[in-house]
Structure 1
Amino acid sequence: MKEKIINDEFISRLETISLHMQSQMKGYFGGDHRTKAYGNTVEFADFREYALGDDIRRIDWNLYSRFEKYFIKLFVDERQMHTQLFLDGSASMGKINRQKAEYAIRLLAALGYLSVRKMDKTSFMLMKGDYCEDLCGVVTGKEAFYLSTATLEEITFQESTDIEAAILNLRNPGKNDGLSVIISDFLTDSNWKKAVDYLLYHKRQVLLLQILSPEEIDPRYNGRTILKDCEAIDILDERNMKLHITKANYLAYKQALGDHRDDIKDFCSSRGIRFFSVDSSTSIEKLIFGQLMESGDVR
């Protein structure tokens, strides 16, 4: 990507908000989430080394005089969550359509920044084939986030992705310790619903974000057309299709796409999780400061 995936002007807007957990959850010391089960804010719990963005008023100067390192005080009711950001690495997400690819990567980065603002642990996971590639390790703090952006800028979309297998093969899915966001077009034969249920079984909160290009939402093809699947192996792949596109075909496609999105919505509603479908030609700001803020997923 030639441009920064997340520029200073956008970051200044993100500084006013952060990802919001819909319920109180168990985590680890060091974050900015609250739980009533473990005392109050004046109850001391532990120390950890200072990270960029921490409140300097919490620095323990006695420890600094002994170790010549900065440590901050932690309290019992502060919990560090682990945000998992899963990005679909399949070819349909951007091998051909760069606008869709850049939207997906910038959204990934923006959500990551909102997570590290709360001093939560953040993992950027690229789903490739039947596994998840951990792109940057566990990122904590703004300095580590900025270092990770160079890796995010190099993301490519090349393969066919099995969302179910990729998530079920996670070594450590976590347990009741944060939010899992899946970013995909969900144009797949993979049983992604089973992957969501797997995360819910591990008591993760889940958010689904569907990204579709304008061409996928409203295709403008007429007459005889060869539709090549960007994930097809070669020209003879059965996923490639020769069609004579008529108005009836167009209307049937629109109906099928609408039914597909309704199926995702119904599934998410049955599980009590949130789902948003966005057009990659619209601004990320519209999604974050519009839909996600209205739903309470960011505040």
Structure 2
Amino acid sequence: EEDLSLVIAIDVSASMDWGDPNKMVFAQRLAMALGYIGLVNHNRVTIAAFGGEGGMQKISNLRGRRKTAEMGKWILNLQSGNTGSFEESMKALALARQGRGVMVVVSDFLLKEGYEKGLRYVAGRGYDLWCMQTLSPQEIDPSAHGLVGDWRLTDAEDRDEAEVTASPGLVEQYRANLGAWCAGLRDFSIRRSIMHMVVDTSTEIDALLLEYLRQRGLVR
């Protein structure tokens, strides 16, 4: 029986600690669910967190149902931050991977440094790569969630500020920019045989696992 690995990389940068439902909490819940499936199937499970304080962290080579509590405690203790390079984190994970398996990156992919170099490190090489682009309902449709009038927006990671008036025209431009960003990641992924999904944090984890991920072959 082939020894397969499951690597789940969670973005814990400051931009993930936002939204209702919160993006980071959603990522933690998804990692817990996928990790548990890996454990009960006796896969070798590694959970990594990137973008937080102190650089990348990980708990490696967990196997079997008895490791569920240890994995859950580690995931629950993660804290958001604003340090660390996506590229360097992906490079480190690529160098540490063993054998064959699946790698799932859970992130909003709102990275000023870009995602291309980082994903090139982890694409292929015996691993099926999934990018779960996690966005909150407020990011997907801000006008439906109260973004009207004058606002001062502050970047959660580098503290850049911008004053905006959320007019219908500006919101439409935002939607177009977000759509283009997601489409860019999707097209980049298709060219490299990476599976890409945009996931709304209001999606129930059970529905995501049983309806979407099972249909697409990640969960069996």
- Tell me the TM-score normalised to structure 2 length: 0.90
Match of 1:229 in 2: 155
Structure 2 Cα separation of the partners of residues 206 and 170 of structure 1: 12
Q: Larger C-alpha radius of gyration, 1 or 2?
A: 1
Match of 1:145 in 2: 68
| Residues 56-90 of structure 1, C-alpha deviations (whole Å, 9 max, x = no match) | xxxxxxxxxxxxxxxxxxxxxx1211211100110
* Residues 19, 137 of structure 2: 8 Å contact kept: no
* Residues 16, 22 of structure 2: 8 Å contact kept: no
Change (3 A) 1:92 1:80: same
* Residues 21, 202 of structure 2: 8 Å contact kept: no
* Residues 86, 181 of structure 1: 8 Å contact kept: yes
RMSD between superposed Cα atoms in Å = 2.0
Match of 1:70 in 2: none
Change (3 A) 1:114 1:127: same
Match of 1:241 in 2: 162
| Residues 254-276 of structure 1, C-alpha deviations (whole Å, 9 max, x = no match) | 00111111111111111112111
Match of 1:278 in 2: 199
Change (3 A) 1:95 1:256: closer
Cα drift, residue 248 of structure 1: 0.8
* Residues 164, 194 of structure 1: 8 Å contact kept: yes
Counterparts of 1:61-80 in structure 2 under 5 Å? 78-80=1-3
Counterparts of 1:189-208 in structure 2 under 5 Å? 189-200=112-123, 202-208=125-131
Cα drift, residue 161 of structure 1: 4.5
Cα drift, residue 170 of structure 1: 3.8
Q: Alignment partner of 2:142: what SS?
A: coil
Counterparts of 1:102-121 in structure 2 under 5 Å? 102-121=25-44
Does residue 1:132 correspond to 2:53, yes or no? no
Q: AA paired with 2:30?
A: L
Q: AA paired with 2:148?
A: N
Q: AA paired with 1:124?
A: I
Structure 2 Cα separation of the partners of residues 298 and 163 of structure 1: 26
Q: AA paired with 2:182?
A: R
* Superposed structure 1 runs of 4+ greater than 4 Å apart: 95-98
- Tell me the TM-score normalised to structure 1 length: 0.67
* Residues 108, 135 of structure 2: 8 Å contact kept: yes
Number of equivalenced pairs: 216
Q: AA paired with 1:109?
A: M
Match of 1:263 in 2: 184
Structure 2 Cα separation of the partners of residues 186 and 102 of structure 1: 16
Q: AA paired with 1:154?
A: N
Match of 1:26 in 2: none
Q: AA paired with 2:95?
A: N
Match of 2:211 in 1: 290
Larger relative contact order (Cα-Cα within 8 Å, sequence gap ≥ 6):
2
* Residues 48, 56 of structure 2: 8 Å contact kept: yes
Which runs of 5 or more structure 1 residues have no equivalent in the other structure?
A: 1-77
The equivalent position to 1:182 in structure 2, one of 98, 105, 109, is 105
Structure 1 Cα separation of the partners of residues 98 and 117 of structure 2: 17
Structure 2 Cα separation of the partners of residues 124 and 154 of structure 1: 13
Q: Of Structure 1 and Structure 2, which has the larger fraction of its residues in helix?
A: 2
Identity, in percent, stands at 25
Change (3 A) 1:161 1:288: farther
Structure 2 Cα separation of the partners of residues 113 and 150 of structure 1: 13
Q: Alignment partner of 1:159: what SS?
A: coil
Cα drift, residue 128 of structure 1: 2.7
Change (3 A) 1:206 1:139: same
Which runs of 5 or more structure 2 residues have no equivalent in the other structure?
A: none
Structure 2 Cα separation of the partners of residues 286 and 125 of structure 1: 24
